[in-house]
Amino acid sequence: MFSDGDAAENGDVWFRVLTQKDHIKRGRIHHSAFTGNAISSPDPNKNRPWSRELSGRLRSKAGTIKNIEDFAVAFCDKLTKAGGGTKTFCGVMYAKVCAIRKPYRDILTLGVFFTPLKADPAHADVTFSNCIGETREAREALMLWLTDQVEGLHHPGQVHHLPEANDRVSG
Name the domain count of the chain: 1
End-to-end alpha carbon distance in the chain: 4
The verdict on residue 8 lying in a domain is: no
Mean pLDDT of 60-66: 95
The verdict on residue 127 lying in a domain is: yes
pLDDT at 167: 59
Judged against a pLDDT cut of 70, whether residue 120 lies above it is answered with yes
pTM of whole model > 0.85?
Answer: yes
**pLDDT above 70 coverage of the chain, percent:** 94
The verdict on residue 78 lying in a domain is: yes
Mean pLDDT of 113-123: 95
- The Cα-based distances of 90 to 2, 33, 117 in angstroms read 29, 12, 23
Judged against a pLDDT cut of 90, whether residue 37 lies above it is answered with no
Range of the domain at 56: 13-158
